[in-house]
Amino acid sequence: MKKIKVILTILLITIIVTSCATVNNEEKGMYVKPHEFSVETNKIVGLLKAKIQCWDFAADKDTKYYEFKLSYYENGKWEDIKMISSIEDDKKFKVGFSQKDGKYSLISFSENGEGVNETDKVFDFSDMSIVSQSALDTMQDIEKNKEIVLYSKYAVKGEDGALSEESNDYKKVKCDKAVVFTLKLGDKEIE
């Protein structure tokens, strides 16, 4: 079973890396935008019964690192799983996640290599009555040292439940369960 998981993860990474088109060189500045997969890649992902979301982003010359983070809310508290990488020469990257059977894997790669951070945590939303999810679906400028939400999924229990989005801070949304992926570019050295 462990070998199958490793093989599937490697296959997903290979598919993503080989199918990702290069970022348009005419785009300037720091930005993030959704990645568009080829028809063939979408077919293979469908056969694997997995969900993949991916974003392209570019950093400026002063950017030292990026932080790709999965935050989840359960049992009344937030927990974080971070993937932090220093940025040296290559200033264009892709980040994303794959999700299968409630498990999420953080994926990050540049032309120089890739990284995967697979979680053993299962995020089960089947007992929730209201589920709301959204993903960044247009190109957006990035402000240095500020988190940007790429994907969020919030849920509440009970028929009377309602999501409360009172703030721009995703950790202040009132819910029973949540999964949120964020990206931050920083200008300080990683310690």
Summarised one tens digit per residue, pLDDT across range 126-180 is 888 888 889 999 999 999 899 999 999 998 887 665 666 655 788 888 889 999 9
Would you say 146 and 183 are in contact if contact means Cβ atoms under 8 Å apart? no
- The full set of domain ranges for the chain reads 2-186
| Residue 153: C-alpha distances to residues 82, 112, 132, 133, 141 (Å) | 18, 31, 6, 4, 22
Alpha-carbon distance of 104 to 4, in angstroms, equals 16
**Which amino acid, residue 8?**
L
Cβ atoms within 10 Å, residue 181: 25
Helix, strand, coil percent values for the chain (each to nearest 5): 15, 45, 40
Give pLDDT tens digits for 4-43. 555 555 555 555 555 444 444 345 678 999 988 888 887 8
- Give the max Cα distance, the chain: 52
